[in-house]
Structure 1
Amino acid sequence: MRALPGRCAHARQARRSQEMRVRAYLCSFVVILSLLCADSKEDAALLNGADSLYRGDFATSFDEFISLFEETKEPYYAKLAAQAAMGKRDTKSALLLAELYIKLSGNDEDLIINKILADVYAQNGQIDQAIKVLEKIYKQEPSNEVGEVLGNMYMLRSMPQNAQPIFQQIYDTTHHIDMLKKLLLAFVAQKQEQKALGVLSQHLLHYGCEERFCEEAIGIYTDLRGLDFAKDVFEKLYVKNPTIPAAMNFMRVLIALKQFQEAQGIAKSFPFDKGLLLDLYVMQGDYARAQKEARQAYEQSQNPKFLALEAVYEFSAQEQPTHKQAESIAKKLGEAIALLQAKGRQESQPETPQDAFFYNFYGYLLIDYEIDIKRGMEYVQKALAIEPYAIAYVDSLAWGYYKLGDCERAIKAFSQIPKDQITNNPDLRAHSYQIEGVCGKQDMSQKRVKQ
């Protein structure tokens, strides 16, 4: 191939030596200028391939550069063809051409080629090879993007000691939450929980946290057994900025620490949903206070949900409710449910898991105290229609069949409950003994009669 004269030859030489990325290495001006300088078949093929590469037509570009490489055996064309192959997601060809470029040129430090190799190795799951190439790239281009990929590869290979300083450097630059999470993970993987807690605490105190990350942070403190650290941090954030979100986060920590009295004090200082204060009383087993609070909430809002909760808490406050008390509470709960259903129809609202809870509670009262077993079964069925896999509701159904004397259905329903759930729950164990015991004896008696 003859050399281009003057300025055109100089332009051609510049094209061959540049190391810019796939879509940025040629600008429109260069393409136009090069077209003006082209005076050979090879030049025209090069320019067509470059233009196709620039426009994202990777298949055409690949064909042009492969043809040029086959004709000239110049490594540079193998490199361009490798770029085009990656563009059209032909990783097999990209890998072969990249390796061929290194073999022919003797240059294993080419940034673009190494990026192609790293990408292909990563996609093929060849993590060790990807790490070696990424280490070369990171030395040449210590960017956050490359560093994060390399750090991720180190973590995949259980090398947190290598990933941690990279994540630390990127976090120090960006203070980005995603990078903070990766840094914490690297510390934990090295069993450096105290360092992880320290970094997390410093981040929260300096930069605060958005609602979702606040919840995640409390979870991290809990997992690392650092709730005392969390209390100190979220208390400072709350004192510094006593808003409802800050109060909620501080209360979450206090509840996790079972410091309910302190949480109650905060809850009373803000116009939270009354349900939050009720939950705090329930967590402490103070059903009498919860009942009183539910009554006040109903009087203020006229929301029948609180009327239903009042009935539930009234029952729970009794150590051993009598049949008369159960009848009275069931009547109140039934009236509250009727109001809830009317409200739902009026507002065209679908039934919720909370509705299912009330249906089951009411149904179980009617069944267990034999107030109206069949009606109770109807409400348990309503609860199961909303939440068909709720173990408590399946238990109520089985108990209803048992109370009706339908042993076959009682055993069938109860068999849906996993054995480990029965073992760990005293109420389920009690029902298991009665259902399987009594019904089992009846089944044996029937078999003897048939014999």
Structure 2
Amino acid sequence: MSWYRIALPLLMVFIFSTVMSSAKEIMKISEDELIMRGLLYDEYKAYENSYQVYKRLYDDTGEEIYLFKEATSALMSRNHILESITRLKRWDKVNPNRIEVRRLLIPLYLTIRQVKNATIEAEHLLEQSKEPMDLDLASNSFLYAGKFKRALDLLNRVYETVPREEILLRMVDIMDEFTGESKKAIQLLETHRRMNIVSHDVYVKLLLLYQKEKDIDGILGTYKALYKQDNDEQYLTKIIDAYIYKRDIDGAITFLEADQSRNDILYELYKTKKYFSKALALVDKLYEEDQNSKWIAEKGVLIFENSEDKNDKKMIQDVISHFEKAIALGNDDSIYLNYYGYTLIDKEVNVKKGINVIENALIQQPDNIYYLDSLAWGYYKQRKCDKAYKLMKRVVDEEGLEEPEIIEHWNAIRQCK
């Protein structure tokens, strides 16, 4: 066991055993020991005790340092505030224009909500000092007093001298909530972000402001910056969502082509835009990545959709072979079963087999209108007109006559009946 692990518990026993020490007991302790105790109390945040120690030291010595430490302990403990103010003011009369007194009186007054007195002291402080720390301190008084423009002006002067993020965020909060300058707040945040490494607090505030302004491009740009900084997939998802919300699929495609981390999403977007040749160029890569037979079936779909001649027999056989390979590898997704079965039926390659494949798809989704349409088309090809008509009527009743393929099938099957 190290010395530190032995000494620390003993030190804590010493510290907290003296918490209960009365003022009378403190009176018996030497100045050197009181100083040591005060420092230890400060270190362990026992501010009530350090207040008593520094008060005794000031009363005994009259040294200003102890008065200031006494007031600081009162401030930290949020206790003895009025007494500390009285003692500071009394000392101030004898020792006027000491800036340390202003620096203590402002937060002491604010602690007990004496805002007017705090602003008076703030004005005195500003007459004595133009230091950033003093401008910052004075701004709190004006903020509490509802003088938001004055507070903002002081913080802006601080930020121009010391461009710290925490100052900027306080300025932005004032501009957003009190002065109605959210657009200017955004400009300040964006400038700061581009010139500095920033925390997530800046990005969160930017997102909130952009949402309030309903600025989708701003939201998108912020998520892009977050993604570039953290490479976190949650931000990539937000980026794609923003592009979709904007109905800018091509923008999302361009972004994902450059990013190259989510080819699966890129593939779906290619299909959405009917960029089948691009999707074909990508599908083999996707299969190489995970060996999922889904991509073989997808390639069958793409070969057909990308073909200029939808009746080309060689192309149709290529499509069918891809579906059969995917099924042989265990892929029985009803979407691909329906596409495969419908191809067999519509191109009259093997109508009976196509109907069997569609029936297997319907086992998975018995009420899927598109699968029922495919089955009705199979019955039509077999000239089983009554069965085709009953199924197709159900499709039309539920789906209506808006899709060209349903209209074509419905007209043909009615004539067959």
| Structure 1 length-normalised TM | 0.43
Highest CA radius of gyration, 1 or 2? 2
| Structure 2 length-normalised TM | 0.46
